[in-house]
Every structure is written in structure tokens, then in C-alpha cells.
Amino acid sequence: MNAPVDEKERFARLEEMGLTPLWRLRTRLQAAGEEGEAKGAHRESSAVAAPTDQALDTPLQKPATAAAASPAPARERPRVQPPRLSSSPVGRRPDHPPVSAPSAPSASASARTVDPERAARIATLDWEALEAEIRACTACPLHRTRTQAVPGVGNRQARWMFVGEGPGREEDRRGEPFVGPAGKLLDAMLFALGLDRTRVYIANAVKCRPPDNRTPTPEEIAACAPFLFRQIELVRPKVLVALGRPAALALLGEEIKIAQARGQIFRYGDIPVVVTYHPAYLLRNPADKAKAWEDLCRARALAEG
Ligand code: URA
């Protein structure tokens, strides 16, 4: 069980996420009425879907302005299926759809590089064997430049599973995902949700650091996908959060643009997938933090549902 959230600390973390000024502003403007709200939105940011006090306590936040309302409302997209595997990665439930090949050309190309026998074998591993296999993996060129593979961390029975892109320098050094600057922001996001690393599972699309922190290729993502699929199968989360495009590609088998896809609910088998910005992107584009918060509130509704 977690200790009750300390309000001061929660505020500090929200501040770290860049959310508290908007939060304060909206509270004031809500009291002042619609006109003031519009003015305040203009002044602060075009991404106005800031968390309010209420947003932190209620599952799904209602956009406060026209600008916030413009992203497509959450809707189900049952057509999206996980990438090709020799067997369904989430075939636990009888109504699980058959797994089909991904539709995006790059993902289709990469699917050819995956050995179905290897994927089928990985799909049977327990945690210990899976992590050992990840650490010893040589299935793609990334193993040549890694210090160590970074399997994943957190609660293996979590309702939430976050999927990032791949280890960076610090993660490669320490063997744990999201321990660098982006990880600090991820921790702040978790904290704002009343969560921490003991309550979620965190993994990456690729388990080895791409040289110079470049984006992993679709081939590398495909080679590593059986590991991620097995982790999902073992955790059985209620919601998957894809942090950035490579994570979305790994989970959905299709290339998407976060700005266009956020607001929709995708599916990995029968597990809802919320896509949002990667924390590293948010560090460079803090104005989009409020949008990420909106996405996380949507994920929370799914995790708690
Ligand atoms: N970025 C990621 O996507 N994953 C990590 O583990 C660290 C940074």
C-alpha cells in the first residue's frame, strides 16, 4: 500500500511537470467566469487542458475551453491489432481478435525480420527466463553497443503499464528504464496520478540503447517486440500507455503521429492503449504537458474502470 499522498509533495511534482501555474490560473478564472478563462488561456498556452484540483480526483477531465475540446474525443478503435506474432500475444480471453500483420509498410517490412519460432518460444517464458533471455539477446545490432540490456521495472501485477522507446545513456549504465531526465518527469507524472513505480510496470519498445540515443528502427522494434509482448502477457495490465511514436509502433503495429492519434483509444488485443507524448519530448516542449496530462487522465479512467 502507498503512503497517503503528501499535498506539498504532490504540488511540487505538479510544478515540476509545469502544471501548477495552469492549475492555479484555471481555478482563479473559473471563479471569474468564461471571459476570464478565455483570456487566461490565451495568455498561458494554447494547450489549456490543465489539470484542476478536481481533475486530480476525478477519472476523466472535461476540456475547459474550445481549444481543449478540439482534439477528437476518446473513441474506441477496435480495428487496431497487435503486430504479427506466431500466436496471439494477448489471447487470454475467448473474444480476443486474431492477430494480423501490421498495416504500415515499415512495420510490415520489419515483421519479416522476426523469427516466428523465436517469438513463439519467448511467448512461453516466465519472468525469470524472460529477463535472462533479454539480457543475453543478440537478435538485433543494438546488442553490440549496449552496456547491458534493460528489461523493465515495477509491479508485475500492475493495472498500468507504460511503454517507452528505449534505454538512454543512464538507463544503459544502470540497467533500469527511465532513470535519466525523462524518467524524472515520468515519476512526476506518476506522482500527479497518485502512483509511483511500485504501482506500475515500465518497459521499453527496445531493451538495448540505440547508439547516440537515436530512434530505434522498425526492424529493431520488431526484433524486440516478442519481449514486450510477453511482458504485457505476464503483467496483464488494464491499460497500456504508449509514450511516443516508437512505443506506439511496437504496440499497434502501425506508424502514427502522436498529435493526431492522442485522444483516441487504441487496442492491443483486448487491452486499451492510450498514446501520448514521450517525457523527453515534453521536456523539450513543455507547452504540451497539459495535453499529456489529459491523456493520462483518460488512461486513469481505463485503469480504474
Ligand atoms: N526514454 C525511454 O524511452 N526509455 C527509457 O528507459 C529512458 C528514456
Task: Tell me the three cell numbers of residue 40.
Answer: 487566461
Cβ(272) – ligand 1 distance below 6 Å? no
Give the model's confidence band at 223: pLDDT under 50 very low, under 70 low, under 90 confident, else very high: very high
Residue 213 Cα to ligand 1 middle (Å): 9
pTM value? Answer: 0.72
**Higher per-residue pLDDT: 61 or 291:** 291
Residue 153 Cα to ligand 1 middle (Å): 12
Q: Which atom of ligand 1 is nearest to the CA of 176?
A: 6
Alpha carbon distance 201, 176 (integer Å): 12
Q: How much is the average pLDDT of 36-60?
A: 29
Q: Tell me what pLDDT residue 72 has.
A: 33
Residue 166 Cα to ligand 1 middle (Å): 5
Nearest-CA neighbor of 156 among 207, 191, 198, 120?
198
Mutate which of 134, 142, 147, 165 for ligand 1? The one with the most ligand atoms within 8 Å of its CB, which is 165
Residue 278 Cα to ligand 1 middle (Å): 9
Q: Which atom of ligand 1 is nearest to the CA of 246?
A: 3
Nearest-CA neighbor of 135 among 146, 126, 124?
146
Q: Tell me what pLDDT residue 13 has.
A: 64
CATH class (in words) of the domain with range 105-304:
alpha beta
- Name the β-bridge partners of 160: 200, 239
- Name the β-bridge partners of 268: 271
Q: How much is the average pLDDT of 49-66?
A: 31
pLDDT at 256 over 60: yes
Alpha carbon distance 156, 168 (integer Å): 23
Parse the chain into domains and list their residue ranges: 7-69, 105-304
Q: Quick one: what percent of the chain has pLDDT higher than 70?
A: 63
Q: Tell me what pLDDT residue 156 has.
A: 98
Whether residue 186 contacts residue 160, with contact meaning beta carbons closer than 8 Å, is answered with no
Residue 27 Cα to ligand 1 middle (Å): 34
Q: Tell me what pLDDT residue 18 has.
A: 63
**Higher per-residue pLDDT: 262 or 67:** 262
Residues 6+ apart with CB under 8 A from 126: 234
Cβ(82) – ligand 1 distance below 6 Å? no
Query: Minimum mean pLDDT among 39-43, 199-203, 249-253: which range?
Result: 39-43
Average pLDDT of the residues of the chain: 75
Q: Tell me what pLDDT residue 104 has.
A: 35
Residue 25 Cα to ligand 1 middle (Å): 32
Q: Tell me what pLDDT residue 114 has.
A: 81
pLDDT at 112 over 90: no
Report in angstroms the alpha-carbon separations of 243 from 25, 65, 238, 276, 282: 28, 25, 16, 5, 10
Q: Tell me what pLDDT residue 304 has.
A: 94
